[in-house]
Amino acid sequence: MLREMNQNFARPGLSFETGNGGLTRAVISTPLANGEIYLQGAHVAAWNPVGEEPVLWLSKQSHFSPGKPIRGGVPICFPWFGPNAEDATQPAHGFARLIEWQVIATRTKADGITEIELGTTIGTFKLTYGVEFGSVLKMTLRTEVSTQSTEDQVFEDALHTYLAVSDVRSVLIKGLEAASYIDKVDQALLRPPSGSPIHFSGETDRIYLETISDCVLVDSGIQRSIRISKSGSMSTVIWNPWIEKSKRMPDFGDDEWAQMACVETTNVAGNRIKLLPGESHSTTATISVVT
Ligand code: BG6
């Protein structure tokens, strides 16, 4: 299968190989950037512009095993976010991150950016995911409802981006000062806008609503800022499990919480999306290092 994939889709700077746990991944290594994307979950597991440290965080304790989510990088959450509201036995964050996606195409653009497009179908939803690996990482999830569907379809989506940081206690996230948020570590209460950048001092799990703003994560420890821009996304989730929750997660090292922060490009909770049969929606996250 690998041979066939390389015959059909490899190009200078992009090839397919057997990655961790025997899972298939595309590896990108170009004059602009390095990266990895696993077919399971269409999961971007690594990206850095050439000359930069890794921008995405990946747990050393992650599962790499069929049907289990990878911990770190950019899981795709779809068609729901968090626990399933109607059936607690369903997998957290939906099926998209658990299943094998198909490669549709690969391209090298005139500016040297390497693009890979993957696709899958979940029920009535046809998903396509385009990822551009360049000095910027651009990820677009397109969801289309089948014309055969007999009713409107509602879904949540998230490009659940784990960012690598020097120490989460010394980073700031700017851009959400004016947004109200659901505080998932405090009874899911709706909180008013805080008016100030986010500083982490404990477990943090918040859904910021009605926000289309860019976020900038300022990491003074390594003199680096990361910008997260988006389109087609009305909510942003900020997450760090801190100490106790990290210990409860088998695929997350006990001390790894200090080196990551999630800034997730989402449409969740009150910002979930409703489409008519035949309609589509695209959610895009663009990650760049600001110097
Ligand atoms: C975050 C959620 O996006 O993902 C958290 O807001 C959740 O509540 C976290 O704990 C990790 O989820 P999972 O299913 O990958 O362990």
Residue 185 to residues 42, 191, 202, 240: CA-CA distances in angstroms?
29, 12, 10, 11
Around ligand 1, the residues with Cβ closer than 6 Å are 69, 82, 92-93, 160, 184, 205, 237, 239, 262, 264
State the average pLDDT over residues 180-199: 98
E strand or H helix that includes residue 53: none
Residue 22 binned pLDDT confidence (cut-offs 50, 70, 90)? very high
Q: Which atom of ligand 1 is nearest to the CA of 207?
A: 6
- Which residue from 235, 222, 13 is spatially nearest to 132, judged by alpha carbons? 13
Contacts of 263 (CB under 8 A, 6+ apart): 161, 163, 173, 215, 217, 228, 236, 237, 238
* Cα-only R_g, the chain: 18
Q: Are 49 and 32 in contact (CB under 8 A)?
A: yes
Q: Which of 117, 132, 160, 256 is catalytic?
A: 160
State the average pLDDT over residues 44-73: 98
Cα 74 to Cα 71: distance, rounded to the nearest angstrom: 9
Residue 196 token pair: 């100030």
Cα of 82 vs centre of ligand 1, distance in Å, is 6
pLDDT in tens, 80-114: 999 999 999 999 999 999 999 999 999 999 999 99
User: What CATH architecture is 2-290?
Assistant: Distorted Sandwich (2.70)
pLDDT at 1 over 90: no
Known active-site residue 244: no
Residue 34 token pair: 């390095």
Cα of 184 vs centre of ligand 1, distance in Å, is 10
pLDDT at 291 over 80: no
Chain-centroid distance, C-alpha 213: 17
